Amino acid sequence: MEEHGLTKREVEIVRLLSLGCSVKETAKLLKLAPSTVDNHKSRAMTKLGTDKAVLVARLAMWYGITTPEETLTKAEKRKSGRPDDGWN
């Protein structure tokens, strides 16, 4: 596995997006503006070598940012208001 070169914030955003959160939900969870999340997402995708948002989850698993078993934490579920999350 290669090094992904993402910043800590980009890793957080890629993780949440790969678990099914929208940009708006991710922004709410991280207390950021949606435009800020979008900027981090774009930079992360460039670093990961894709321009396809659908590949973010696959690349997140490839680089060990998330796993198929991972779900949102209890605090993240509470903040997002989502009963279901992750790959289930």
Element (H, E) at 25: helix 23-30
Average pLDDT, the chain: 88
Compute the distance between CA of residue 66 and CA of residue 16 in angstroms, rounded to an integer. 9
Q: Which domains, and CATH codes, for the chain?
A: 8-75 (1.10.10.10)
For 78-87, the pLDDT digits (tens) are 887 776 655 4
Give percent of the chain above pLDDT 70. 90
For 49-65, the pLDDT digits (tens) are 999 988 999 999 999 99
pTM of the model as a whole: 0.86
Residues 6+ apart with CB under 8 A from 42: none
